[in-house]
Amino acid sequence: MPQASFERFVRAALDAQRAVGSTDDGIQVLTETRVYIGLNDAVTKTQKFDTERYISALKYVCTQYGVPFSFDVINGGYIHDNGEYTEERTILLTFVDVDQKTIDEIAVDLCDFFHQESVLITTGNICARSVRGVFAERPE
């Protein structure tokens, strides 16, 4: 969906929410990008290192680029160009409102380090807002 169409859709949804008493305070339309990085080696088709080592590398790379990120370890399957099916652990790396050039550079670095043929990158618009809690004072 083009950006302008998506923003019209969001505004219509917010108008509908206001009609039933909801509020749209602080809602922004942002870009969310997800990078799926398999942990199986491209040649051996098996995971060479323990998952924690991959997570450490991922954290290091993202920290060096100075971008906010989150990640999760998921399980999935992949069908190679030759039709061979492989199951593997995958790290799902999520960025919100980070420029695509930086994400591509991070993806290339991780693809090389994890010895992958490629990584999958998805991008879409999201509605985002922050909610802050109230910190209670601790009794002494």
Q: What is the DSSP string of 52-103?
A: HHHHHHHHHHHHHHT---EEEEEEEEEE-TTS-EEEEEEEEEEEES--HHHH
pLDDT band at 105 (very low <50, low <70, confident <90, very high): very high
- pLDDT score recorded for residue 136: 61
Q: Which residues contact 134 (CB under 8 A, 6 or more apart)?
A: none
- The class level of CATH for 31-128 reads alpha beta
CB atoms within 10 A of CB 119: 18
pTM here is 0.76
The model's pLDDT over 26-64, given as tens digits with 9 standing for 90+, comes to: 788 899 999 999 999 988 989 999 999 999 999 999 999
The model's pLDDT over 54-92, given as tens digits with 9 standing for 90+, comes to: 999 999 999 999 999 999 999 988 887 888 888 999 999
pLDDT for 21 beyond 50: no
Token pair of 71, please? 């990640």
- pLDDT score recorded for residue 19: 46
Mean pLDDT of the region 109-119? 91
Per the CB < 8 A criterion, the answer to whether 76 and 88 are in contact is: yes
Token pair of 26, please? 């602080």
